[in-house]
Amino acid sequence: MNWKIFLITVTAIIIITVALFAGPRLINPFVMNDTEKEILLSIRLPRVIVSILMGAALGASGAVLQGILRNPLADPYILGISSGASLTAAMGIISGITLFGIVTIPVFAFAGALCTGVFVGAMGWKRGGFWPDRLLLAGVGLGFLFSSILMLIMSISSTEGLRRAMLWIFGDLSLADWSVIPYGSLFIAAGLSISMLRAKSLNALILGDELSHSLGFSPRKERFILFLCVSLMTAASVSLGGMIGFIGLLIPHMARFVTGSDNRILIPVSAIGGGAILCIADLIGKSVLSPTELPAGIITAIIGAPYFLYLLRRKDVLSN
């Protein structure tokens, strides 16, 4: 098992390195002029870091959420958090509000995501604990509501911010900036660290509440803590670069094929894989139609949808 994790980590490092120096303009790391150094440090490096953070957050959140809900087809965005973040971010973009300077839109997105997470959590709380079915239904319903309001606002808007809002919603990482990385790193690192520390309890939750309780874990308490972790990581991810689909759904399944279902290994491997895959998607998006860029969210959807259908065709996918 250790050599598999080592191989995955080395592969991810190679992918990240390629994403840093490749692109519309190939940069030789051994011979760089001042312009190329500026491009590398001011544009590509923060963009790659944002890709790693977002991919890691979504990959780990997917693994945790699939355990909480005991649903292998669950996705971090199924809780409606992304829709709430997109709604508040689009409102900020279209209205032109610059209350917090360059981080205004990420702040709006994070606030919307957290408020949505709190509301979904309240709807999913019953008799002193989270009920997976209630969480799922509340997230789906709220997601549809926010998406409808968002489409209404965008359909009646005629401002110049409309195109920017559309790109942001589809996961455009071209606006990645050093200023948004510190706070995003803080929340994602916190959520990921706590999730890994609670991985043993998540393994027990997957076996059922009764067995989990017999093993010394409180299912209600563990679901609450893990739900907070997923909410923090998803909120931070969406605020950094918009909505990126399929990462949280597919990466945990891909990781299970290699490492198995032990969440002590699955969560960090899903985080590593998510960061690497999003780096690939962003590299493809900014290179394939250069100088025009495609949002990374569109690339992950094009890659992820066929694989998702493949997963559905597998007889064992619902038992993972």
- Among residues 123, 151, 297, the alpha carbon closest in space to that of 227 is found at 123
Looking at residue 24, the DSSP 8-state letter turns out to be: S
Whole-number pLDDT of residue 58:
94
Would you give per-residue pLDDT tens digits along the chain (320 residues)?
Answer: 577 788 889 999 999 999 999 888 888 888 888 888 898 999 899 999 999 999 999 999 999 988 888 888 778 877 788 788 888 888 877 777 766 666 677 788 888 888 888 888 788 777 666 677 788 888 888 888 888 888 888 777 766 667 777 777 788 888 788 888 888 898 899 999 999 999 999 999 888 878 888 888 888 888 888 988 888 888 888 888 888 888 988 899 889 888 888 999 999 999 999 999 999 999 999 888 878 888 888 899 888 888 777 777 764 555 54
Say whether pTM exceeds 0.95: no
Whole-number pLDDT of residue 223:
85
**Structural domains in the chain?**
50-311 (1.10.3470.10)
Looking at residue 207, the DSSP 8-state letter turns out to be: T
Q: Measure the CA–CA gap between 72 and 242, rounded to whole angstroms.
A: 24
Q: Which helix (H) or strand (E) holds 307?
A: helix 296-313
Based on C-alpha coordinates, what's the Rg of the chain?
Answer: 19
Strands (E), 116-209: 125-126, 129-130
Cα separation of the two ends of the chain: 18
Longest dimension (CA), the chain: 64
Q: Which helix (H) or strand (E) holds 69?
A: none
Helix, strand, coil share of the chain (percent; to 5): 80, 0, 20
What phi and psi values does residue 179 have, to the nearest 5 degrees?
A: -65, -25
Residue position matching structure tokens 């996705």: 75
Residue position matching structure tokens 């996918």: 317
What tokens appear for 68 in the block?
Answer: 């909480």
What phi and psi values does residue 53 have, to the nearest 5 degrees?
A: -65, -45
Q: Measure the CA–CA gap between 86 and 251, rounded to whole angstroms.
A: 23
What phi and psi values does residue 130 have, to the nearest 5 degrees?
A: -80, 135
Whole-number pLDDT of residue 314:
66
Looking at residue 125, the DSSP 8-state letter turns out to be: E
